[in-house]
């Protein structure tokens, strides 16, 4: 399995969702479990995802400055929703695809 930036982004996003939701369920139900550490690791994973995605957006040459600002604001205000939209459709327009070599 090739580990690239897309794999890391998707992994961080899924990990953060799972850990945060699990921690919230433990907290709501008042179960005796390390829900606080689940929430902390989930938030750190979410923060890592946001930093990597914002860095990818800011360094992109395929989109203009206005669109970059909108993406960054979306990540800062609604990170979960913006992250899902970014992974499903937005990343294709942001990341430069290297042209395939013809052999």
What confidence tens digit (pLDDT) does each residue in 27-52 have?
788 777 666 677 788 888 888 888 98
Residues 46 and 86: beta-carbon distance below 8 Å: no
DSSP H helical ranges for the chain: 5-28, 35-58, 65-77, 79-85, 91-94
- pLDDT above 60: residue 80: yes
Give exposure, 43-54, as e/b (b: 16+ Cβ within 10 Å): eebbebbbeebb
In this prediction, residue 101 carries a pLDDT of 55
Find the mean pLDDT for residues 87-103.
Answer: 66
């Amino acid at each position: 399995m090739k580990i690239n930036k897309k794999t890391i982004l998707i992994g961080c996003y899924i990990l953060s969702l799972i850990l945060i939701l699990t921690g919230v369920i433990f907290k709501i139900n008042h179960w005796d479990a390390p829900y606080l550490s689940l929430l902390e690791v989930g938030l750190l994973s979410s923060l890592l995802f946001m930093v990597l995605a914002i860095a990818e957006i800011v360094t992109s040459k395929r989109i203009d400055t206005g669109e970059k600002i909108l993406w960054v604001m979306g990540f800062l205000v609604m990170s979960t929703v913006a992250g899902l939209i970014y992974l499903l459709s937005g990343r294709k327009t942001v990341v430069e695809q290297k042209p395939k070599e013809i052999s």
